[in-house]
Amino acid sequence: MDLLARLAGAVADARRLMERLVAEHAETIAAAARLLADTFKAGGKVLIFGNGGSAADAQHIAAEFVNRFQVERPPLAALALTTDTSVLTSIANDYAFAEVFVKQVKALGRPGDVAWGISTSGSSLNVVLALEEARALGLRTMALSGGDGGPVAGQAEAAIVVPSRNTPRIQEMHILVGHVLCDLVDFLLFPEKFADS
């Protein structure tokens, strides 16, 4: 297989997966958008977390909410629990890496907030434990996962599971869903911004 054929194959795989994801999860994605919009409207915040590429996605999505996505609108309260290296390393050093998100959820989460876990495998222990704790504290929960969803999806009231076990393809779909959710939240909260579109 030459380079261009491999490129075409990767794009075709991603396209097929995207179409399947939307077909299987359109209602869940819409429900997640309503959950986020309702949270922001009520003055709540969204805590987003994951490991590795999912940590990068958490930061990316939080930035889209706090700054802006595509329309000019007020900042929305979102926080990536992956960015404070002193907090992360002190918790991992003094307790365990499995606790790095749990302790932040305990410190920062309030009933009515949303805890949003991201895990390509669906089995990241620190994400599972943070979602469990969030539920116990009265937060709403949502997840982006892959494969069969794993225990991460099992802890979320709105779980969007990419039907694949290919990590790069799952990550591509996660950021696609993240961007779609940002757009839908803006549409729900600021419909006047979309009057001419």
What is the tens place of the pLDDT at every residue in 140-155?
999 999 999 999 999 9
Q: Is residue 196 assigned to a domain?
A: no
> What are the pLDDT digits (tens) for 70-95?
999 999 999 999 999 999 999 999 99
Dist. CA 145–CA 161, nearest whole Å: 5
Could you give the C-alpha distances from 132 to 8, 38, 163, 176, in angstroms and in order? 41, 21, 23, 26
Q: Is residue 123 assigned to a domain?
A: yes
**Does the pLDDT of residue 168 top 80, yes or no?**
yes
Dist. CA 115–CA 143, nearest whole Å: 8
Dist. CA 145–CA 64, nearest whole Å: 20
Asked if 102 and 128 touch (Cβ cutoff 8 Å), the reply is no
**Does the pLDDT of residue 62 top 90, yes or no?**
yes
**Does the pLDDT of residue 197 top 70, yes or no?**
no
Q: Would you call 72 exposed, middle or buried from its count of C-beta atoms within 10 A (0-12, 13-18, 19+)?
A: exposed
Q: Is residue 75 assigned to a domain?
A: yes
Could you give the C-alpha distances from 126 to 50, 71, 89, in angstroms and in order? 8, 34, 14
- How many other C-beta atoms are found inside a 10 Å radius of the C-beta of residue 61? 26
Q: What is the mean pLDDT of residues 102-106?
A: 98
Q: Is residue 115 assigned to a domain?
A: yes
**Does the pLDDT of residue 196 top 80, yes or no?**
no
What is the CATH number for 87?
A: 3.40.50.10490
Q: Is residue 140 assigned to a domain?
A: yes
Number of domains into which the chain is organized: 1
Q: Is residue 197 assigned to a domain?
A: no
For 68, the domain range is 3-189
| Average pLDDT of the chain to the nearest whole number | 97
- Beta-bridged to residue 115, according to DSSP, are 47, 141
Q: What are phi and psi of 14, to 5 degrees?
A: -65, -40
Q: Is residue 195 assigned to a domain?
A: no
This prediction has a pTM of 0.96
Q: Is residue 105 assigned to a domain?
A: yes
